[in-house]
């Protein structure tokens, strides 16, 4: 490509692919068979669709499921929690009097006052005791604790009886007693 009046696209693409191959080989040689050891359990976001409000979801040692919602400025009468099927539905109405001022220029904005549409969180009915749920709003943090059921009951199984059919011409199985004639 040097000292030419025109651009040879084929040569340019070859050089790009060659550089990419060289980089891949150098990276592979340097890293060898190393694989990162990530702890996905702690860093994985199981509810990526809900970024507002900031939320913690975790399980305690006694298998209780806990939700913590950061709700600065919200009043408890404007917060909705409801179980439907295998889901906990959460919603909240934004406090009044906090309308956005268009003339304000924010340097940093993390505190928002907006309605929280219905968010659903998986809480299997057969594993958690919905009758013993505790929800506490303290210091603008709503903590919802759902204890595990003492005894997890699955659907009752159906016992299948196995019947042995003798094939024609085959002698019945021996029982260990001598047959009387």
Terminal Cα distance for the chain, rounded: 105
Contact between 65 and 88 under an 8 Å Cβ cutoff? The reply is no
Report CA-CA distances (Å) from 1 to 10, 17, 20, 21: 10, 15, 18, 20
Host H or E run for residue 68: strand 65-70
Which pLDDT score is estimated for 136? 93
Domain ranges of the chain: 1-35, 50-98+106-146
For residues 84 and 123, give the distance between their C-alpha atoms in angstroms, rounded to a whole number: 10
Which pLDDT score is estimated for 172? 58
Residues contacting residue 68 through CB under 8 Å, at least 6 positions apart: 55, 56, 57, 141, 142, 143, 144
Which pLDDT score is estimated for 161? 78
Asked whether the CA dihedral 8, 14, 20, 23 is positive or negative, the reply is negative
Which pLDDT score is estimated for 181? 46
| Block mean pLDDT (10 aa), the chain, length 181 | 65 79 73 56 63 88 93 89 92 82 80 84 90 92 92 70 71 55 46
Contact between 91 and 118 under an 8 Å Cβ cutoff? The reply is yes
Which pLDDT score is estimated for 80? 93
- CATH classification number, 50-98+106-146, choose in 3.40.50.10800, 2.60.40.790, 2.40.240.10, 2.20.25.90: 2.60.40.790
Q: Is 31 helix (H, G, I), strand (E, B) or coil?
A: helix
- CA quadruple 129, 66, 41, 120: dihedral, nearest 10: 80
């Amino acid at each position: 490509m040097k000292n030419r009046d025109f651009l040879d696209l084929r040569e340019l693409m070859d050089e790009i692919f060659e550089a990419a191959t060289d980089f891949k080989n150098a990276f592979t040689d340097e890293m060898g068979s190393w694989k990162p050891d990530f702890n996905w359990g702690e860093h994985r976001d199981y509810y990526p669709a809900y970024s507002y409000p900031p939320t913690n979801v975790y399980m305690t040692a006694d298998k209780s499921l806990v939700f913590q919602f950061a709700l600065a400025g919200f009043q408890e009468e404007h917060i909705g929690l409801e179980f439907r099927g295998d889901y906990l539905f959460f919603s909240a109405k934004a406090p009044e009097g906090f309308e956005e001022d268009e003339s304000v220029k924010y340097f940093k904005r993390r505190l928002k006052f907006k309605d929280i549409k219905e968010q659903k969180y998986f809480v299997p009915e057969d594993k958690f005791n919905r009758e013993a749920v505790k929800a506490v709003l303290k210091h603008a943090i709503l903590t919802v604790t759902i204890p595990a059921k003492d005894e997890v009951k699955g659907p009752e199984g159906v016992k299948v009886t196995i019947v042995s059919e003798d094939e024609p011409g085959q002698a019945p199985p021996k029982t260990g007693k001598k047959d009387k004639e």
